[in-house]
Structure 1
Amino acid sequence: MKLKSITLAAMVSAAAVGSVQAEENIRFDGFPDFDSSLNVLLPDFTEKTGIKVDYLMNNHGDHHTKLTTNLATGSGAGDVVVVDVEKIGPFVASGGLVNLSASFKADQYKDQFAPYAWAQGQGSDGSVYGIPVDLGPGVMYYRRDLLKDTGENINEVIKDWDSYIAYGEELKKNNVYLIASAADVAQAIIFTTVGDNEGLYFDAKGEPIVTSPRFVKAFTIAKEIRDKGLDARITAWSNEWYEGFRKGTFATQLSGAWLLGHLQNWIAPETSGKWGVENLPNGIYGSWGGSFLSIPKQSEHKEAAWKLIQYMTTEREVQLKHFETIGAFPANKTTYDSPIFNEEIPFLGGQKARLLFADVAKNIKPVLPAKGDHVARAIILENALMQVLDEDRDIKEALAEAERLIKRRTRNL
């Protein structure tokens, strides 16, 4: 999942409770808001196992850059590492992670997890290298007050992309933007309308499919939103983005369910009650983020590391506490009958939003990651899409060039 983009490097030891003496020390490497969850979970883990856990947090980008170096050099990584869904494919392909199926019989837990998430943590050999710890069901957060000002109905707004854009035109009359960035709409369509036997960017044979109708449609709708002046042109995880949530600069945000934790905990807690959440427009279901726990081969404490992964992913009450603390939706399906899902969420105006999150999670189809996904994502979303939105480049021309670049840059992967 995409998390708080701040630099944070903290080494904090969880104190053992009672008279238990810590027998072994391990380190957990991740990114915020995992530290908030670990502060709650680790004392109980240490009490139960005698294993003491330090943690090292860096912002999302720096964490993965550091981990790339650690795995390449064979040193410097924690014993347990968090890997974002966008990075799991290349990290598994790097060969630097422990085969959890072979080493710890991890497949015994397969049926506990959302099928699409379990598949994402597998390598081409069918073994699992990352256990899902949380999911990112794709949803649309919206400002209730700004919706009310237009007199629109949320069900009508999300009916299809035309009605979503029409809502943006009504908002514009009140000097409010529809969304922070039109690029988020393109990403939503790309991520949630994957065809059978397709990956996000490649087909079953490993050939790029970025000139297909899915990408043309995604770019076309995003371009319409930009051309009509309906997006604020604000990049996610920037200070402007945070301020936009606080001030009501934009009325909707397409994201993963996990955004709730950030909004209520630190981005815009003062806006409590002004937000609601709904399905993505046009009846689409898809994943928007998610995280995995893995063990680097270089770890000297693999058994203890596996115990922590088991604790955080296979224990129902721990998954629920992780969910309750930072809003990270559980990857473990055994949690979905918990009473917590029926609780009203004050930040969302009393909405029982977790029921929506669960419904989305159950409707997401498995999409297998490819080792070239990170390369394709950068070329498509960070390069080609920006050329179309910012430089008015022809959509089909931009996608054709992107396909050529993807083929060239993934040739030797």
Structure 2
Amino acid sequence: MKLWLKGLAALSLGAALAVPTLAQEATPNTDISGTISVWTWPNNDRTFAALMPTFNEAYPNITVNVQGFPTANDAYLNNLQRALLSGSGPDVAMIEISMMALLRERPQWVDLRQAPYNAGEFIEDFAPFTVSNVTLSEGKIVALPKHTGPGGMFYRHDIFEEAGLPTEPEEVAALLSDWDSFIEEGKKLVVPNERWLIGNGEEILRAMTAQTGISYFDADGNLLFDEPVYREALERVREAGEAGLISPFTAWSPEWQGAFQRGQLATVLYGNWFGGLLKRAYATDQSGQWAVASAPGTDGNRSFNSGGDYIGILETSQNKEAAWAFVHWLVTNDESLKQQYQNDDLYPAYMPALEQDWMNFEDPYYGGQNVNEIFAPVQAEMVPVELDERDTIAIAAMRTAINNVARGVATVDEALAAAKAEVEAKM
């Protein structure tokens, strides 16, 4: 990590002299014309709409019709699955990371490795774990990686200061270096029934399992709930719950969202994209009060992924050339990635972008902190996890286990046994 930070510092020093432009491998012909349809979910639909003027500067003769369906793994997924089965649907479609294993084997995706796309020539320019997610065993590339979710710990440094704790990111990272210290020091940030260390126990378990590279299923499809990290993570959730560190709010509920604005949550463990929600929805008047530090670590590893999405072309598209122009531009073009990062905190999967000055700047929302100094090493060090089409079943069962342990409704053993039985019954 130190070497990476030195590299960032050197980049910053040299940025005034020269800023590299992103390579544009296999750039499609800008004279392409036609109309294409793109399916996605909120707020990607808004993001795409905002990009259209810039896209049309490069491709003035392509019209892009964007349709957003509510939630990536609900209405959107159902509509896309029906389209794949019926041979209908859009020219271009998004795939959320949790849906990748369920969708990538479908034959309706264009193989982007083949001409005229030739994505195999530059696929290694994307984060390695994203490449493995879109590449099938026979080598087919079903989509291009769009964004990832390198994880960290967002925290209210004014609350840390009030509690008498360090406030600078390096000092906070040193103080909360592992999950034991996170829980012990976190007790100082709590005001009973008014303020909590963290919103929900799922944040703890998700980070711990990802840091060890343990998924819900292994490559052979075996359920992994018996792996030690699940028990260890649930024990941390139990400790945090008993100490009153976990809020009573359900994640993503209006009450949970409002807790940020009310200053009731001292930390949150998600991918870098969560900063966009803080800035534009949950904590709009708290500029300068938030900062980002490395998450507490498991066996010394503090890196975890939290989210990510991909974009591919359907075989039924009647204008694959225009569809490819849009997909390629969206995920590799400098101005596209810049706008998506600075307007929506979407972290590029395209690795050359990480060296750009527009990703390495003093962000006033974080009190002048360059948060990419936290997220860039995470993207480089993340341990890939195995994706399985039954992940959603396992996620739901483990979420119940987490909530029951946090509230003291079940012991760790009872919660694990119930979660395992629930998943096995549906396999």
Per the shorter chain, which TM-score range?
A: 0.7 to 0.9
Return the match for 1:335 from 324, 347, 353: 353
Matched, 1:314 2:325: no
Return the match for 1:26 from 27, 30, 36: 36
Q: How does 1:295-314 map to 2 (within 5 A)?
A: 295-314=313-332
User: C-alpha displacement at 1:266, in angstroms?
Assistant: 2.6
What CA distance in whole angstroms lies between the structure 2 residues aligned with 1:323 and 1:339?
12
| Alignment check: 8 A CA contact 1:379 1:402 kept | yes
Q: How does 1:234-245 map to 2 (within 5 A)?
A: 234-245=249-260
* Range 56-65 or range 110-119, more displaced: 56-65
The code of the aligned residue for 2:101 comes to G
- Residue aligned with 1:177, SS: coil
| Alignment check: 8 A CA contact 2:177 2:295 kept | no
C-alpha spacing 1:317/1:299, structure 2 compared with 1 (3 Å): same
Question: Per-residue displacement from partner, 1:191-216 (whole Å, max 9, x unpaired)?
Answer: 22215xxxx11223221111110111
The code of the aligned residue for 2:55 comes to F
What CA distance in whole angstroms lies between the structure 1 residues aligned with 2:119 and 2:421?
39
C-alpha spacing 1:44/1:243, structure 2 compared with 1 (3 Å): same
Question: Per-residue displacement from partner, 1:254-277 (whole Å, max 9, x unpaired)?
Answer: 000011112112332111111001
CA RMSD of aligned residues (A): 2.2
Return the match for 1:233 from 248, 263, 287: 248
| Alignment check: 8 A CA contact 1:380 1:402 kept | yes
* Range 329-338 or range 116-125, more displaced: 116-125
- Residue aligned with 1:271, SS: coil
- 2:95 maps to 83
Matched, 1:137 2:156: no
- 1:281 maps to 296
Matched, 1:392 2:402: no
User: C-alpha displacement at 1:408, in angstroms?
Assistant: 4.4
- Residue aligned with 1:234, SS: coil
User: C-alpha displacement at 1:404, in angstroms?
Assistant: 4.1
Matched, 1:360 2:378: yes
- Residue aligned with 1:93, SS: coil
- 1:97 maps to 109
| Alignment check: 8 A CA contact 2:190 2:245 kept | yes
What CA distance in whole angstroms lies between the structure 2 residues aligned with 1:311 and 1:219?
43
Return the match for 1:116 from 129, 132, 147: 129
| Alignment check: 8 A CA contact 1:316 1:332 kept | no
| Alignment check: 8 A CA contact 2:217 2:386 kept | no
| Alignment check: 8 A CA contact 2:213 2:384 kept | no
- 2:45 maps to 35
User: C-alpha displacement at 1:156, in angstroms?
Assistant: 4.3
The code of the aligned residue for 2:62 comes to I
- 1:349 maps to 367
- Residue aligned with 2:224, SS: coil
User: C-alpha displacement at 1:224, in angstroms?
Assistant: 1.6
| Alignment check: 8 A CA contact 1:137 1:286 kept | yes
The code of the aligned residue for 1:78 comes to P
The code of the aligned residue for 1:70 comes to A
- 2:199 maps to 180
What CA distance in whole angstroms lies between the structure 1 residues aligned with 2:48 and 2:108?
25
C-alpha spacing 1:93/1:21, structure 2 compared with 1 (3 Å): closer
The count of aligned residue pairs is: 385
C-alpha spacing 1:362/1:22, structure 2 compared with 1 (3 Å): closer
| Alignment check: 8 A CA contact 1:177 1:231 kept | yes
Q: How does 1:192-203 map to 2 (within 5 A)?
A: 192-194=211-213, 200-203=215-218
- 1:55 maps to 66
TM-score, L = length of structure 1 = 0.87
Matched, 1:210 2:225: yes
C-alpha spacing 1:147/1:40, structure 2 compared with 1 (3 Å): same
User: C-alpha displacement at 1:244, in angstroms?
Assistant: 1.0
C-alpha spacing 1:397/1:139, structure 2 compared with 1 (3 Å): same
What CA distance in whole angstroms lies between the structure 1 residues aligned with 2:66 and 2:314?
15
| Alignment check: 8 A CA contact 2:341 2:359 kept | no
| Alignment check: 8 A CA contact 2:84 2:108 kept | yes
- Residue aligned with 2:197, SS: strand
What CA distance in whole angstroms lies between the structure 1 residues aligned with 2:240 and 2:78?
33
Superposition misfits of 4+ residues, deviation over 4 angstroms: none
C-alpha spacing 1:121/1:234, structure 2 compared with 1 (3 Å): farther
What CA distance in whole angstroms lies between the structure 2 residues aligned with 1:233 and 1:106?
47
The code of the aligned residue for 2:51 comes to L
- 2:10 maps to none
User: C-alpha displacement at 1:311, in angstroms?
Assistant: 0.4
What CA distance in whole angstroms lies between the structure 2 residues aligned with 1:127 and 1:301?
20
User: C-alpha displacement at 1:182, in angstroms?
Assistant: 1.6
- Residue aligned with 1:369, SS: coil
- 2:286 maps to 271
What CA distance in whole angstroms lies between the structure 2 residues aligned with 1:73 and 1:210?
36
User: C-alpha displacement at 1:129, in angstroms?
Assistant: 1.2
User: C-alpha displacement at 1:399, in angstroms?
Assistant: 2.4
User: C-alpha displacement at 1:361, in angstroms?
Assistant: 0.7
Matched, 1:372 2:384: no
Structure 1 gaps of 5+ residues are 1-19
| Alignment check: 8 A CA contact 1:143 1:275 kept | yes
Matched, 1:155 2:173: yes
